[in-house]
Chain A
Amino acid sequence: MTTSTQTVPAGTGTGEPVLRAQGVTLRFGGLTSLDDVSVELRRGEILAVIGPNGAGKTSLFNCLTGVYLPQEGGIEFQAEPGGSWLSLRGRKPHLVNRAGVSRTFQNIRLFNALTVLENVQIAAETRVASGPVGIMLGLPGNNKAARAARHHSREMLDFVGLRGKESLIASGLSYGDQRRLEIARALASDPKVLLLDEPAAGTNPSEKLGLAQLIQRINTELGISILLIEHDMRLVMSVASRITVLNFGKVIASGSPAEVQQNPAVIEAYLGSGAVAEESVEAEAEAEAEAETVTDVVTETVTETETVTEVDTVTDVVTETDVVETEAVETETEAVETDTVAGTDADEEGSK
């Protein structure tokens, strides 16, 4: 399985690592979620982690940010070039954030009852040193710090393009805007490394385009190194400088986008084993004569299921489509039930 290509062309980054995971192994009981995974994020680059559903991408993120404690392996982070390496393994999530690694979530996790501005303020204010006693006494230093944090939060909201929506309730935003708000919240704590977990899931094509631009702007204008999980191959190909492919908790390939596309192990992971996959790849490659072949097919299958469901993508593609179907049936039966209730009066014997 492991046919990782070690020779990697220089991306936009400087080439020095900023965050590295070495030999990370994570097990849940008998299930091995991550098996000896090594990933290296270089300073200033955008590294995409791709792989089929259930490959362990989000588990890797959770290990990197202290949500899960991997049984084996080391995770190290270097905040400043030439600075000392800090072990993130087993570090509490909020301390990982404080060290300079912040993240977003696959299924959006905003503070839904708070306003857009408050959502960002919470993250910005974790860098403010003011205690409860000082706040209760209303010391002037606290007010000044709070004002500075609010200003910083506004800047971040402007940066992601949410200007003018500051006082809205977070749950009232559109899906794409909620994704942007999550990114703004992650940026508000001034990270050196940003981990984006499927930022484009459930967004429409124009929103995806905007997100791709935003990700690139974060990388170039703010100088933040980005580790990106994404299923949308167009997005990945357009922004990533390198790609690492996971399958069944193992790194099966790593390299530049062009290299990864050609990698037979990757093709097998996405399209199943054997000649069928390669035939279809060849056929399409002939028809289009482009390098995007495999990824196109993958994108189509994955995005289709994604847009329909927006369910947590834990199961692999096939089972997920099954889930979609059963769910559709369930909603139908529900509709029948509600219908009967809405009739004159519900009666159990009647519906059977």
Chain B
Amino acid sequence: MTTSISELSAQVRRLRKHDAWYKNPLWGRLAVIECLALVLSIMTNETQGSPSDYTLLFKDSWFCVRGVQFLVAGAIVFVIAEVWRARGLSRIAAQATQPVRDLRRNKVLTNPWTKRGVLLAVTVIAVLLPLMGMFTLPYFQSVLAGQVGVYVLAALGLNVVVGWAGLLDLGYIAFFAIGAYTTAILSGKLPVGDDGNPELHPPIHLNLFFAFPIAVLLTMVAGLILGAPTLRLRGDYLAIVTLGFHEIVLNVAKNDPRGLTNGSLGATSISTFRFNLFGVHYDWRTNDAKPYWYLAIGIIIVVVFAFRRLEHSKVGRSWTAIREDEVAAAASGVPTVKYKLMAFAIGASTSGFAGVLATAKITAITPDNFPLTLSIFVLAYVIFGGMGSITGVIVGASLMTFLPAFLQGPPSWFNSGHPVVNVNDIPMWIGGVLLVMMIFRPQGLIPSKRRAQELSQAEHGVGDADAMTSPAEGVAQ
């Protein structure tokens, strides 16, 4: 049998020798890259089309110096890619990251006290951050409190659902919205009556700190209501259902049931956090973002400690078991539906928590604050950082929320304070970053050990990297 293989391959090689040069796929790749370069040349051109000269845009982006520049750039990319390809992509990547891996294996770093020290240092830096460099600017303080803090918290919750339990949730921000609307109602700005005056109607005026437990309970219940009938679905089906749930919540908010949500106008001038106990009085004012940042850090620390305990407990292990092999988990006595519901409820309540925090900071909400893309973005933060890894998710969410804000309005020392790229193009660049990331490091920035293990096994054809596919030996009905 072996002789026939070698004969065949020899025959193939002989045949190929007489092939025309243009059949070599090398040139196909070059053509694709050059075409992409030309398209990019048009896409990034500031010149608009003109009715008097239809070919203006092409003349201006292809048949001039600009076009040549892009073609040359494409050729350079091609050469680099081919060299890279010839030398073995994964080997180069492995060599490049070797020092990092050596560092991670270092004894000093794996010592629990070192870890605690690093954790403390990170916390101290985070607390002092608003006093440093560009973060003294109100704009960046606001970004820290309103974007980074809030979405790190939300991403931590989504990590429980997606990263640990392996359930794909595309409607995660729906719970965030429920938390936000709960805040607005409890603070007395909703519902708005026929006369348009909120002050006359609402029955409740609560200190916003009480909104936390109520919002958590409500979102938990919402998570259970969504989860109970749908969690028997797997992977993609569940994702579609959660997508629908997001749309439902958004449309309910827009349709203004009984004046509860005030339609697309939403609620404005929602009160902020206030502390008034034992003679100590403190007010979180809207003109200073720093206190919100501290509050967010405090909440995140509590959540991280709680979730770390969960991860290394019976619950975390059961989630991993369900994610890896639901049939085997059930056969080992793990109540799978209960644990999936638990993950859903914990994730949903964390999202609600983040919703309260965000609402108190921005003090005005409309349904447009909670678009579907936000759900997708939070999922992207989790995947970017590394599914299942708390550190990874925090780093990923911080970077991915901070990056667009930075590109939009950098400090004066960077690009002399002008937006780095066209503001409308920012989602494109963020998408590009995600794309590159997923190609070269699919496990995320700082992957969890278990997830990295699963991914490498999936690449070798053993097991699944996610809960998207049902096991081969399914359940008959």
State whether B314 touches A351 (Cβ < 8 A).
Answer: no
Least distance between B431 CB and chain A CB atoms (Å)? 30
Picked from A68, A110, A123, A312, the residue with its CB within 8 Å of the CB of B333 is A123
The stretch from A6-14, A73-81, A96-104, A158-166 touching chain B is: A96-104
**Pairwise interchain contact A102-B331, C-beta atoms closer than 8 A:** yes
Q: B22-40: contact bitstring with A at CB < 8 Å (1 yes, 0 no)?
A: 0111100000000000000
Known: A135-B315, A344-B16. A112 touches B463 (CB 8 A): yes
Name the residue on A nearest B455 (C-beta).
Answer: A113
A301 within 8 A of B: no
Report B157 CB to chain A, min CB distance, Å.
13
A339 close to chain B: CB less than 8 A: yes
Please measure, in the bound complex, the distance between the C-alpha atom of A332 and the C-alpha atom of B330, giving whole angstroms: 39
Please determine whether B310 and A122 come into contact, CB atoms closer than 8 angstroms. Answer: no
Contact B314 A343 (CB under 8 A): no
A137 neighbours in B (Cβ, 8 Å) = 306
Q: Chain B contacts of A110 at CB under 8 A?
A: 325, 328
Is B297 an interface residue, CB under 8 A from the partner? no
Interface residues on chain B, size class? 35 or more
The answer to whether A350 and B19 have CB atoms under 8 Å apart is yes
Tell me the minimal C-beta distance from A222 to chain B in angstroms. 17
B24 lies within 8 A of A109 (CB) = no
Distance from A162 Cβ to chain B, minimum over Cβ atoms (Å): 16
Q: Let me know if B15 and A350 touch, CB within 8 A.
A: yes
Map CB proximity to B onto A87-115 as digits: 1 under 8 Å, 0 otherwise: 00000111001100011010101111110
A300–B440 CA distance with the chains assembled, in angstroms: 49
- The answer to whether the Cβ of A65 comes within 8 Å of any Cβ in the partner chain is yes
B309-343 to A contact mask, C-beta < 8 Å, 1/0: 11001110110110011011111111110000010
**At the interface, is chain B mostly helix, strand, loop or mixed?**
helix
Who on chain B is nearest to A62 by CB?
B476
Given that A110-B328, A136-B309, A146-B314 are contacting pairs, would A94 and B333 also be in contact in the complex, using a CB cutoff of 8 Å? yes
Instruction: Name the segment of A49-57, A124-132, A241-249 touching the other chain.
Output: A124-132
B457 within 8 A of A: yes
Q: Identify B334's interface contact among A94, A113, A136, CB under 8 A.
A: A94
- Asked if residues A112 and B1 are in contact (CB atoms below 8 Å), the reply is no
> Which stretch (B5-13, B110-118, B394-402) binds chain A?
B5-13
A107→B473 contact, CB < 8 A: yes
User: Contacts A112-B457, A113-B457, A347-B23 known; A146 to B313 CB distance under 8 Å?
Assistant: yes
Q: Is B416 an interface residue (CB 8 A)?
A: no
Given contacts A135-B314, A169-B453, A332-B1, contact A111 B309 (CB under 8 A): no
Asked if residues A343 and B317 are in contact (CB atoms below 8 Å), the reply is no
B332-368 interface code vs A (CB 8 A; 1 in, 0 out):
1111100000100010000000000000000000000
CB atoms of B457 and A114 under 8 A apart: no
When chains A and B are docked, how far (Å) is the Cα of A112 from the Cα of B473? Answer: 17
CA distance A332 to B4 in the complex (A): 9
**Interface residue B450 (Cβ < 8 Å from any Cβ of A):** yes
In the complex, which residues of chain A have a beta carbon less than 8 angstroms from the beta carbon of B100?
Answer: none
CB nearest neighbor in A for B25: A345
- Do A189 and B457 contact each other (CB < 8 Å), given the known contacts A340-B9, A346-B25, A350-B16? no
Q: Tell me how far the C-beta of A314 lies from the nearest C-beta in chain B, rounded to whole angstroms.
A: 10
Closest CB of chain A to B347's CB: distance in Å? Answer: 12
A-B contacts, 21 listed (Cβ < 8 Å): A67-B327, A67-B331, A97-B331, A97-B333, A102-B333, A105-B328, A111-B325, A112-B454, A113-B453, A114-B450, A122-B329, A125-B317, A130-B314, A136-B309, A188-B332, A189-B333, A340-B9, A343-B12, A345-B26, A346-B25, A350-B12
Identify the 6 closest CB pairs spanning chains A and B, nearest first: A126-B333, A97-B333, A136-B306, A93-B330, A109-B328, A113-B453
Binding site for A on B (CB under 8 A): 1, 4-5, 8-9, 12-13, 15-16, 19, 23-26, 306-307, 309-310, 313-315, 317-318, 320-321, 324-325, 327-336, 342, 346, 450-451, 453-454, 457, 462-463, 471, 473, 475-477
